[in-house]
């Protein structure tokens, strides 16, 4: 309770976090440290380093990732806990058992007698460990029955040099009540072929050995772990025999076995045995992934082109008008800025081209285009049909590619498949580049996504670093989804490597069998493995996948949910990140079992309604979410929090312009326009030193301001004006800026139907404006436009006129009956006749509206305007002040102009002219009587001049200053308090 009250204050969470991780060396890593300390204290602690700076930590709070890399730690810990729990339970039941297998960790390969289940039980009961997946660094012995010769070769490469021992070794050891040497039990074929193996093995596998059970002959000296590991992984002697293709084949052939025998049995899987052998023969396993692209490529040509609008900013269309682009900096030496915004005029584009997070962050939009929601796709309507009218159990499959980024690029390095490999931009052992993905051998060393490469290298000096290949990720993701959609029409994409399937309605299909089929197809098509979880809801399916990884699948039956969750660390639940974990830890809650002890009321009191409910449900395995197609997006944005360094306002403006271009292109790529714009700034904290991460943002305050405009737009110039305006709200030294983002929300689709709507609203607006301009300004009604197609802002009272403010505090004086236009707008109007248009209104339209309108009239509008201009100043009289709407528009435009730079203003003569026209009109305000009360004024213009100087600011100010004092005061007072102060 006290914890989340900290939310109310800005600094609350930061302080909280700081206290959590006073020892982080990575200013982004923060709270994950506490976790890491725990799970792998020594190495990780050293890797991350002791960290003195409490301040260093919260820096990258938006770094969702700070903690992400630790989930595998959690998973392992979870399994560990389960294992320990089971082991201790078992021990309790048979207190006489001795830890015969202490230090022994087996992996059962394929069919054995006794079964892997039984072997597992023996291990549990006698102090050993049982690995559900193969890891050369965790497994000490592979247990395997004699195999046909054809399989020996595979085993050899698969085993990576570990002892391959017959199951009777376990049985005999149990019978003897001590650990026997495994040497006599070595698999015949291997023993005869590889006489030298045993020497190697013996040195490598000293059972971890508290000397109590030293009876075994095999127990040689305690060779150091490091030495052993190094030997094992650097010595290619064993692995090189295995062809990569064979490895693939082996994986394929055995994945059924693994599913049934090992992974499945691991914890949860129902011992259903029927489906496993039913799996198809692998015919085309050898068909290389390289030849697989054909289908999808020809269909659509999946490609990741950061240059494409929807992916990233388009290149080459920028003039870099940064005249002083020479890299001289006051604070930073040239070398320091080479990779910053200061060193690269094309920074934004290049940055996004290389950003992995940008890739995964924008993937969803590309998916939307590639797989437009299918007509038969299930819409995720929250129809609470849940009344269990469905007697049939729902069946959900969650499927996720194993170490996706590594798996894809490792295909061209088959010799590396069992070596520790990670994908990263840099191989610099001192670098702060981040690991994107690490394969499972690398994870055995504690290497995780998000970690600095130097820390990863410290954990594993021979870690192999591979480069990104975004195009390949895109392509594999595409194949992945092609397969999923082929089997199921209820697919919910989670990310480029992960999805949920609702297979409830696929009757006659065993979900587990289906999952194995899909996994196999994925492997055959892509050469990459995927893991799957099957359960009755999304939550449990996802958890099952974690258990199943890598290259496995796991079914959690409803009966075993409780058992599964009881010891599960709460951090493993989706939705519980490091913050919630810490809060719960402070209440001594670490496992789902413990979480269940807390009442829902209590949780909702401490964690608020929704979160409390989520916690209560999830720790019980309850999840009411439905698998649905991707919903239409609610926001579009772009941000950069790396390499952002500015010297002066011009640097900043240049960057903001690029960001606007990027966002504009993305809006257009998504076919939407937006009305609300939010500018986010990361501001270096006063006490923050150099970021731990090279070119990183370090410890920052996160600031944001937003504004809402009346008409949705995707126009770069409009974005630019708005952005400049927003930037004015931050009274900030540009040298402190470490990150910038622009987000657009209140989106409106630009598809045909919406276009019609928009045009209608525009038309109605014009008509009603025109009509009203002939009445007297009529003030009545309460305008509250929720639908928001055309008006905006809130009524702020007043009789003769209403001062409205948009959310940012651009105050807009206008009459309430603005909404009349909107009232009509949804009813569909025919286009007003040209001659019915009020030219004064038309001329004062913002340029983008004008051009849109012009389109509606087939281009005749501009002609008409030209003619009306010829008539002299006649139109001026009606220009601004007969129509509140007109005034509104005029003021908005004037406001935009104020913050526009000279370049954009002069870009089109027509636009400039229009603005000047309006300004002229504004200057006549004092004379214009009744219409006067509908002037809009942007208050921030009053004191933005220092930050946003522009050629027009003086004009604006003078316009403002011409206002009667009374009105000015009125306007000022009507502004929200925080706006007034901030100015």
Partner DNA sequence: ATCCTCCCCTAC
Partner DNA sequence: TAAGGTAGGGGAGGAT
* Region 952-981 residues binding DNA, contact defined as CB under 7 A: 976-977
CA-CA distance, 327 to 643, in Å (whole number)?
A: 14
Under rule CB under 7 A, residue 633 binds DNA: yes
Find the shortest distance in angstroms from Cβ 361 to ligand DCP: 10
CA-CA distance, 327 to 332, in Å (whole number)?
A: 9
**Binder of DNA out of 643, 710, 728, 801 (CB under 7 A):** 643
Under rule CB under 7 A, residue 599 binds DNA: no
Under rule CB under 7 A, residue 407 binds DNA: no
Choice among 86, 131, 269, 498 that is catalytic: 498
Apex CA 223: angle with CA 222 and CA 225, to 5°?
A: 110
DSSP 840: H
**Which of these segments, 49-57, 399-407, 587-595, 751-759, binds Mg ion (CB under 5 A)?**
399-407
Find the shortest distance in angstroms from Cβ 425 to Mg ion: 20
The C-alpha torsion from 624 through 630 and 634 to 635, rounded to 10°, is 120
Contacts 24+ apart (CB under 8 A), 793-797: 793/708, 793/710, 796/974
SS3 label, residue 536: coil
Q: Which lies closer to Mg ion via its Cβ, residue 174 or residue 496?
A: 496
CA torsion sign for 853, 856, 859, 863 is negative
Residue 947 main-chain phi, psi, to 5 deg: -90, -30
Under rule CB under 6 A, residue 527 binds ligand DCP: no
Query: Would you give the binding string for Mg ion spanning residues 481-500, x where CB under 5 A is met?
Result: ----------------xx--
Closest CA to 377 of 128, 628, 182, 681: 628
Residue 391 main-chain phi, psi, to 5 deg: -70, -25
Under rule CB under 5 A, residue 443 binds Mg ion: no
Find the shortest distance in angstroms from Cβ 622 to DNA: 14
Provide Rg for the chain, Cα atoms: 33
**Binder of DNA out of 90, 209, 795, 868 (CB under 7 A):** 795
| Both tokens assigned to 462 | 């021979």
**Binder of DNA out of 60, 201, 473, 523 (CB under 7 A):** 60
Q: Which lies closer to DNA via its Cβ, residue 144 or residue 615?
A: 615
How many residues of this chain interact with ligand DCP, rule: CB under 6 A?
A: 19
- What, of ligand DCP, Mg ion, DNA, none, does residue 437 touch, CB below 5 to 8 Å by kind? ligand DCP
Place of tokens 């308090």: 977
Closest CA to 635 of 490, 785, 508, 744: 744
How many residues of this chain interact with DNA, rule: CB under 7 A?
A: 115
Under rule CB under 6 A, residue 32 binds ligand DCP: no
* Region 122-151 residues binding DNA, contact defined as CB under 7 A: none
**Binder of DNA out of 107, 205, 213, 352 (CB under 7 A):** 352
Find the shortest distance in angstroms from Cβ 893 to ligand DCP: 44
H-run or E-run covering 364: helix 356-370
DSSP string, 883-951: -HHHHHHHHHHHHHHHH--HHHHTT-HHHHHHHHHHHHHHHTGGG-GGGGGG-EEEGGGGT-TTTS--T
Residue 395, phi-psi category: left (phi > 0), alpha (psi -120 to 50), beta (remainder): beta
Is the peptide bond prior to 262 cis by the omega test (within 30 degrees of 0)? no
* Region 451-470 residues binding DNA, contact defined as CB under 7 A: 453
Helices (H), 671-816: 716-729, 752-774
* Region 271-330 residues binding ligand DCP, contact defined as CB under 6 A: none
Q: Is residue 740 within 8 Å of residue 679, measured between CB atoms?
A: yes
Under rule CB under 6 A, residue 549 binds ligand DCP: yes
Under rule CB under 6 A, residue 550 binds ligand DCP: yes
Under rule CB under 7 A, residue 614 binds DNA: yes
**Binder of ligand DCP out of 449, 525, 688, 740 (CB under 6 A):** 449
- What, of DNA, ligand DCP, Mg ion, none, does residue 806 touch, CB below 5 to 8 Å by kind? DNA
**Which of these segments, 118-126, 215-223, 494-502, 953-961, binds DNA (CB under 7 A)?**
494-502
CA-CA distance, 765 to 775, in Å (whole number)?
A: 15
Find the shortest distance in angstroms from Cβ 609 to DNA: 4
Residues 6+ apart with CB under 8 A from 87: 124, 125, 127
Find the shortest distance in angstroms from Cβ 310 to Mg ion: 21
Q: Is residue 831 within 8 Å of residue 857, measured between CB atoms?
A: yes
| Both tokens assigned to 204 | 């490598």
Apex CA 647: angle with CA 642 and CA 651, to 5°?
A: 75
**Binder of ligand DCP out of 183, 403, 503, 922 (CB under 6 A):** 403
- What, of DNA, ligand DCP, Mg ion, none, does residue 854 touch, CB below 5 to 8 Å by kind? none
Distance of CA 153 to the CA centre of its chain: 42
CA-CA distance, 747 to 728, in Å (whole number)?
A: 24
Could you tell me which residues are beta bridge partners of residue 672?
749
**Binder of ligand DCP out of 130, 367, 405, 470 (CB under 6 A):** 405
**Was 632 annotated as part of a binding site?**
no
Is the peptide bond prior to 715 cis by the omega test (within 30 degrees of 0)? no
Under rule CB under 6 A, residue 497 binds ligand DCP: yes
Under rule CB under 7 A, residue 796 binds DNA: yes
- What, of DNA, ligand DCP, Mg ion, none, does residue 460 touch, CB below 5 to 8 Å by kind? none
| Both tokens assigned to 681 | 């700034």
**Was 497 annotated as part of a binding site?**
yes
Q: Which lies closer to Mg ion via its Cβ, residue 352 or residue 473?
A: 473
866-892 b/e (C-beta count within 10 Å ≥ 16 → b)? eebeeeeeebbebbbbbbbbbbbbbbb
**Which of these segments, 62-70, 693-701, 767-775, 856-864, binds ligand DCP (CB under 6 A)?**
62-70
- What, of Mg ion, DNA, ligand DCP, none, does residue 550 touch, CB below 5 to 8 Å by kind? ligand DCP
Under rule CB under 7 A, residue 706 binds DNA: yes
| Both tokens assigned to 731 | 């009274």
H-run or E-run covering 707: strand 700-713
Other beta carbons less than 10 A from residue 443's beta carbon:
25
Under rule CB under 5 A, residue 401 binds Mg ion: yes
Under rule CB under 6 A, residue 360 binds ligand DCP: yes
**Binder of Mg ion out of 134, 185, 304, 404 (CB under 5 A):** 404
| Both tokens assigned to 590 | 């670490």
Find the shortest distance in angstroms from Cβ 549 to DNA: 11
Find the shortest distance in angstroms from Cβ 67 to ligand DCP: 9
Under rule CB under 6 A, residue 68 binds ligand DCP: yes
Under rule CB under 6 A, residue 475 binds ligand DCP: no
**Binder of Mg ion out of 86, 219, 254, 400 (CB under 5 A):** 400
**Was 498 annotated as part of a binding site?**
yes
* Region 49-78 residues binding Mg ion, contact defined as CB under 5 A: none
Find the shortest distance in angstroms from Cβ 355 to DNA: 3
Find the shortest distance in angstroms from Cβ 350 to DNA: 5
Q: Which lies closer to ligand DCP via its Cβ, residue 421 or residue 688?
A: 421
Whether 507 is catalytic: no
SS3 label, residue 787: coil
CA-CA distance, 558 to 563, in Å (whole number)?
A: 10
Feature table: binding site: 400, 497-498
Hey, which residues are catalytic here?
Answer: 498
Q: Which residues of this protein are in contact with ligand DCP, per CB under 6 A?
A: 65, 68-69, 356, 360, 400-405, 436-437, 449-450, 497-498, 549-550
Feature table: binding site for Mg(2+): 400, 497-498
């Amino acid at each position: 309770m006290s914890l989340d009250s900290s939310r109310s204050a800005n600094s609350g969470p930061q302080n909280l976090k700081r206290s959590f991780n006073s020892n982080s060396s990575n200013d982004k890593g923060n709270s994950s440290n506490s976790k890491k300390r725990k799970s792998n204290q020594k190495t990780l602690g050293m890797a991350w380093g002791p960290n003195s700076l409490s301040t260093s930590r919260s820096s990258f709070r938006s770094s969702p990732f700070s903690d992400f890399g630790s989930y595998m730690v959690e998973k392992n810990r979870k399994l560990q806990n389960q294992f320990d729990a089971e082991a201790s339970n078992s021990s309790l039941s048979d207190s006489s058992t001795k830890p015969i297998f202490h230090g022994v960790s087996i992996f059962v390969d394929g069919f054995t007698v006794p079964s892997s289940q039984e072997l597992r039980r023996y291990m549990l009961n006698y102090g050993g460990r049982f690995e559900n997946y193969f890891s050369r660094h965790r497994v000490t012995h592979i247990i395997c029955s004699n195999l046909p010769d054809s399989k020996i070769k595979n085993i050899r490469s698969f085993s990576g040099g570990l002892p391959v021992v017959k199951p009777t070794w376990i049985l005999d050891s149990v019978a003897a009540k001590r650990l026997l040497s495994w040497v006599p039990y070595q698999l015949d074929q291997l023993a005869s072929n590889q006489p030298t193996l045993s020497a190697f093995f013996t040195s490598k596998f000293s059972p971890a050995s508290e000397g109590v059970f030293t009876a075994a002959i095999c127990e040689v000296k305690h060779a150091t772990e490091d030495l052993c590991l190094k030997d094992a992984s650097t010595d290619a002697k064993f692995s090189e025999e295995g062809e990569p293709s064979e490895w693939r084949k082996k994986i394929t052939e055995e994945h059924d076995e693994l599913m049934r025998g090992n992974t499945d049995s691991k914890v949860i899987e129902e011992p259903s045995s029927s489906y496993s052998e039913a799996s198809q023969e692998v015919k085309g396993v050898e068909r290389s992934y390289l030849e697989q692209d054909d289908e999808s490529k020809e269909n659509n040509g999946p490609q990741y082109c950061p240059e494409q609008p929807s992916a990233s900013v388009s290149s080459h269309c920028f003039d870099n008008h940064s005249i002083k682009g020479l890299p001289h900096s006051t604070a930073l030496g040239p070398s320091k800025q080479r990779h910053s915004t200061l060193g690269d005029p094309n920074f934004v584009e290049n940055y996004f081209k290389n950003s992995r997070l940008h890739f995964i962050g924008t993937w969803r939009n590309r998916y939307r285009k590639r797989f437009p929601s299918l007509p038969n796709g299930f819409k995720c309507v929250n129809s609470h049909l849940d009344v269990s009218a469905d007697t049939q159990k729902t069946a959900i499959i969650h499927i996720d590619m194993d170490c996706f980024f590594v798996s894809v690029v490792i295909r061209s390095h088959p010799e590396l498949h069992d070596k520790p490999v990670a994908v990263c931009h840099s191989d610099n052992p001192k670098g702060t580049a981040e690991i994107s993905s690490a394969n499972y051998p690398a994870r055995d060393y504690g290497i995780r996504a998000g970690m600095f490469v130097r820390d990863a290298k410290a954990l594993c000096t021979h870690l192999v670093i591979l480069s990104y290949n975004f195009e390949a990720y895109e392509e594999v993701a595409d194949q992945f989804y092609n397969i999923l959609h082929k089997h199921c029409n209820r697919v919910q994409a989670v990310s480029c490597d992960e999805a949920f399937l609702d297979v409830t309605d696929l009757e006659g299909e065993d979900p587990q069998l289906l999952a194995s089929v899909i996994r196999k197809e994925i492997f055959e098509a892509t050469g990459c493995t995927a893991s799957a979880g099957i359960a009755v809801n999304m939550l449990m399916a996802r958890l099952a996948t974690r258990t199943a990884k890598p290259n496995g699948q796991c079914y959690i039956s409803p009966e075993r949910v409780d058992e599964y969750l009881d010891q599960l660390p709460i951090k493993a639940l989706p939705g519980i990140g490091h913050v919630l974990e810490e809060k719960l830890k402070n209440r001594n809650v670490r496992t789902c079992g413990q979480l269940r002890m807390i009442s829902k009321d209590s949780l909702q009191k401490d964690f608020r309604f929704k979160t409390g409910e989520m916690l209560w449900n999830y720790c019980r395995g309850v999840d009411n979410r439905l698998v649905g197609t991707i919903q239409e997006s609610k926001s579009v944005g772009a941000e950069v929090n790396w390499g952002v360094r500015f010297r002066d306002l011009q640097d900043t403006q240049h960057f903001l312009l690029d960001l606007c271009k990027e966002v504009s292109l993305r809006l257009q790529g998504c076919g939407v326009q937006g009305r609300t714009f939010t500018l986010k700034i990361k501001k270096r904290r006063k006490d923050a030193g150099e970021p731990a991460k090279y070119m990183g943002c370090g410890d920052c305050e996160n600031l944001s301001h937003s504004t809402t405009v009346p008409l949705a737009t995707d126009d770069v110039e409009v974005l630019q004006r708005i952005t400049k305006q927003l930037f004015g709200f931050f009274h900030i030294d540009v040298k402190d800026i470490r990150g910038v983002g622009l987000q657009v929300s209140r989106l409106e689709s630009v598809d045909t139907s919406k276009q019609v709507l928009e045009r209608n609203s525009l038309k109605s607006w014009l008509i009603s404006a025109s009509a009203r301009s002939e009445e007297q300004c009529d003030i009545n009604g309460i305008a509250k436009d929720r639908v928001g197609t055309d008006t905006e802002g809130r009524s702020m009272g007043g009789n003769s006129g209403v001062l409205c403010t948009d959310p940012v505090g651009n105050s807009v004086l206008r009459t309430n009956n603005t909404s009349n236009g909107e009232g009509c707008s949804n009813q569909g109007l025919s286009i007003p006749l040209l001659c019915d248009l009020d030219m004064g209104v038309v001329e004062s339209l913002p340029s983008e509206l004008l051009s849109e309108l012009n389109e509606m009239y087939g281009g005749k509008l501009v002609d008409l305007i030209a003619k009306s201009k010829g008539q002299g100043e006649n139109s001026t009289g009606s220009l601004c002040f007969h129509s509140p709407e007109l005034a509104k528009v005029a003021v908005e435009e004037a406001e935009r102009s104020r913050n526009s730079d000279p370049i954009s203003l002069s870009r089109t003569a027509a636009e400039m002219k229009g603005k000047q026209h309006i300004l002229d009109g504004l200057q006549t305000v004092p004379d214009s009587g009744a219409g006067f009360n509908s002037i809009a004024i942007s208050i921030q213009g009053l004191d933005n001049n220092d930050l946003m100087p522009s050629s027009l600011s003086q004009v604006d100010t003078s316009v403002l200053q011409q206002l009667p004092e009374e009105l000015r005061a009125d306007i000022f007072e009507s502004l929200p308090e925080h706006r007034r102060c901030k100015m």
